[in-house]
Amino acid sequence: MSQFPQLRMRRKRRADWSRNLVRETALTAHDLVLTTVITDSVDREGPVGSLPGVSRLGLDALVAQAKEAAALGIPALALFPHIDPARKNATASEALNPDGLVPEAIRRLKRDVPEIGVIVDVALDPFTDHGHDGLMRGEVIDNDSTLDMLSQGAVILAEAGADMVAPSDMMDGRVGVIRDALDDAGLTETMILSYAAKFASAFYGPYRDAIGTASALKGDKRTYQMDPGNTDEALHEVAMDIEEGADMVMVKPGLPYLDICHRIKAEFEVPTLAFQVSGEYAMIQLASQNGWGDSERLLLETLTAFKRAGCDAVLSYGAIRAARLLAG
């Protein structure tokens, strides 16, 4: 390899054309999944205070946003529901309502915007009055009774037309029981995107505010979500989820965990997604509102970083904005 002064790395950086020529990683709209927040109450539609630029949507607005996303080349969207507190209880019974907000939203999307993929979370937290992702037995989150709810819930969502169900609860064994339940119901084409390496993170704050679980949540999620210090354990989780039938795996949060994304992709060579979660997105928006950063550049730079780390796609609240920027 030649050395300075014969070699000058800056030669290639001088012009747009040569920078474009040697760029190793390029972000496209096809790499993005739009995260959306929906509500069943007209009173709650509108901007989410802690997520500048994000609104809770009624179903008409959801359809309009999905159409825009599809037109920009965004392949899929993920739904997150704000459920009327009056419908929440300790058994999360609303999660099994086939006429609930989420199944209704899926049916509307499949009817009106069939070209966009619909991904839905499978977890109980939007439906429990205690804000946890599982059923509680005394003070503990009960793994095995939760599995039963999750598999029944996944079948209801798939029957409504969801293309991909995304267990985000971190109970042990959920991917396997969901796959079995889907197959038993003849839903063999429904995919599973496993939130395989999901960490007990402080970056979920704005989301819990958006879907109205922040004030309800008692305690924290450290008995089921992963410890932020662990990486071998993340690979172990992914290996198990692939074995149980996950079609794709996800890392969450995103940017603070790019090393995890990189290791997973290198080790397993399976479709690997990351979630640029609410707290990450809020930081970008707040920096820019304060004049401390350009939100457009921060968004594109962070999304590109996911691709560079090996992710195939990124879930982001900024997917539409990013896709518009990419389209020029």
Contact 110, 161 (CB under 8 A): yes
Annotated catalytic residue 110: no
Can you read off the two tokens belonging to residue 271? 């479709």
Q: Which residues contact 218 (CB under 8 A, 6 or more apart)?
A: 130, 131, 132
CB of residue 277 vs ligand PBG: minimum separation in angstroms? 4
Contact 175, 120 (CB under 8 A): no
Neighbours of 18 (CB within 10 A): 12
Coil, helix or strand at residue 137 = strand
User: DSSP class of residue 315?
Assistant: E
Angle between helices 174-184 and 232-244 (to 10 degrees): 20
Task: State which residue, 148 or 183, has the beta carbon closest to ligand PBG.
Answer: 148
* Residues at the site binding ligand PBG, with contacts judged by CB under 6 A: 121, 123, 125, 133, 168-169, 204, 207-208, 221, 277-278
Burial classification of residue 168, based on how many CB atoms lie within 10 Å of its CB (0-12 exposed, 13-18 middle, 19 or more buried):
buried
Instruction: Kindly report the length of the chain.
Output: 328
Instruction: Write down the catalytic residue from 12, 88, 110, 252.
Output: 252
- Identity at 108, one-letter amino acid code: R
Contact 257, 226 (CB under 8 A): no
Can you read off the two tokens belonging to residue 308? 């560079």
Neighbours of 22 (CB within 10 A): 8
CB of residue 207 vs ligand PBG: minimum separation in angstroms? 3
CB of residue 133 vs ligand PBG: minimum separation in angstroms? 5
CB of residue 49 vs ligand PBG: minimum separation in angstroms? 15
CB of residue 214 vs ligand PBG: minimum separation in angstroms? 9
* Element holding 152 (H helix, E strand): helix 143-160
Task: State which residue, 71 or 205, has the beta carbon closest to ligand PBG.
Answer: 205
Instruction: Write down the catalytic residue from 198, 221, 265, 307.
Output: 198
Annotated catalytic residue 12: no
Can you read off the two tokens belonging to residue 317? 């609240």
- Catalytic positions are 198, 252
